[in-house]
Amino acid sequence: DPYENEPARHKVLKINGSKPFCAEPSSPLLVESFITPVDFFYVRNHLPVPKIDLKNYTLELAIEGTTIKTLDFKALTTKYEKTTITAAVMCGGNRRSEMSKVKNLKGVSWNVGAVGNATWTGIRLCDVLKDLGISEDKFNHVQFEGYDLDPSGMPYATSIPISKAMDPRADVILAYEMNGKPLSRDHGFPIRVIVPGVVGARNVKWLSKIVVSKEESQSQWQQGDYKGFSPSTTWDNVDFSKSPAIQEMPVISAICDPQNSDVVKVKNGKIQVKGYAWSGGGRKVIRIDVTNDQGKTWHTADLIEDLQAKQGRYWSWTLWNVELPVDKRSKEVEIWAKAVDSSYNVQPESFNNIYNIRGLLCNAYHKIKIKTQH
Ligand code: MTE
Ligand code: MO
């Protein structure tokens, strides 16, 4: 069994798939703290977790087909300056279970918990690339490979544009610590890439190799997955070569507490509603609007944000809470939330017109129904 060496996992994680392991925390737990504890951070593996001995760990650096150098853990962590960022990582399929109500689709059925916010400590990818003496103009992509292998021996692999990889302000990190502790096995021990503002899939765990190239990664995960399509595209007519790979993510939010169909106690005519919001590309969430009357009246939520983030480099999520006034006679309340980011991008109102066969980019308004107790 290739899965016989899997790490132990916290029992609060709700398992969406066991081999490979995919799991998320409940949504009320998710918004209890601005920094997500490692044990509660969602896990999205595509393959068995590799067993890596730190003593034998190496990272290979290559330009196209040629290996330029191989560095061990000590060399990597002593040679380059240590840096820490706070960034959310979100799966491209987060909130897929809601989109699947429009029409059948393929993918792990995530609720709203395929996201977490952590501090990541490591070295800057741009420093490592600078040492290779490459010019940004001669290449287009930086590919990452993991130590996790599919049955044919191919590693998990993806790539990002070289402009993102080499930009010191893009904060791409080869991380060896999460929340101040060495990475756990599920989250990429001993080193993973953190590409802030970019879809989770590019944040390669168990990093084995970096390749500077003219080409994107040719892996399934770059070429045949993690792409968006028209709602009318079907599995019979889809052409993956026609859509670009997802990189920066669109603005999204979710109501986390209460959860759909909860019974909520009304206090002084109000209920407390909490959630998160996030946008890709370093765009900060500037406002969350919440309604309980289908948009006749919108209430602006209070925000809990990363106050240290620099303009245009807001990588964290934003937590929010709002007190919603509810009618004395109401038995059931429908709540909607939507976020606005610093480019004034807004979420689409429904999933109908953003449906896609892989269930990615599921960022429509979050809508839940609760029962009230007066
Ligand atoms: N890296 C490797 N090597 N193997 C993987 O299966 N999954 C990717 C990414 N990096 C993956 C990987 C996907 S799709 C996501 S959403 C994130 O890791 C999940 O990171 P997490 O498990 O630390 O939350
Ligand atoms: Mo993902």
Per-residue pLDDT at 300: 98
Per-residue pLDDT at 360: 98
Q: How far is the CA of 283 from the centre of ligand 2 (A)?
A: 20
Atom 17 (ligand 1) nearest CA: 200
Q: How far is the CA of 92 from the centre of ligand 2 (A)?
A: 5
Residues, CB-to-ion distance under 5 Å, ligand 2: 44, 91, 200-201
Atom 8 (ligand 1) nearest CA: 201
Ligand nearest, relative to CA of residue 88: 1
Atom 21 (ligand 1) nearest CA: 43
Atom 14 (ligand 1) nearest CA: 201
Q: How far is the CA of 89 from the centre of ligand 1 (A)?
A: 9
Per-residue pLDDT at 114: 98
Q: To test ligand 1's pocket by mutation, which of 203, 246, 317 has the most ligand atoms within 8 angstroms of CB?
A: 203
**Cα 315 from Cα 212, distance rounded (Å):** 25
Q: Is the pTM of this model over 0.95?
A: yes
Q: What is the mean pLDDT of each run of 10 residues along the chain (374 residues)?
A: 97 97 98 98 98 98 97 97 98 98 97 98 97 94 98 97 97 98 98 98 98 98 98 98 98 98 96 98 98 97 97 98 94 98 98 98 98 96
Per-residue pLDDT at 366: 98
Q: How far is the CA of 203 from the centre of ligand 1 (A)?
A: 6
**Cα 202 from Cα 157, distance rounded (Å):** 8
DSSP-derived secondary structure letter, 135: -
Per-residue pLDDT at 237: 97
Length, in residues, of the chain: 374
Tell me what ipTM this predicted complex has: 1.00
Per-residue pLDDT at 60: 98
What is the token pair recorded at 100? 């699947």
**Cα 310 from Cα 134, distance rounded (Å):** 28
Per-residue pLDDT at 251: 99
What is the token pair recorded at 264? 């909520």
Instruction: Give the pocket of ligand 1 (CB within 6 Å).
Output: 41-47, 89, 91, 146, 148, 156, 186-187, 200-201, 203-206
Ligand nearest, relative to CA of residue 115: 1
**Cα 275 from Cα 21, distance rounded (Å):** 25
**Cα 95 from Cα 30, distance rounded (Å):** 14
Q: What angle do CA 245, 124, 163 make, to 5 degrees?
A: 40
Atom of ligand 1 nearest to the CA of 148: 3
- Helix residue ranges per DSSP H, 210-253: 220-223
What is the token pair recorded at 9? 């996992």
Atom of ligand 1 nearest to the CA of 44: 22
Strand partners, 248: 198
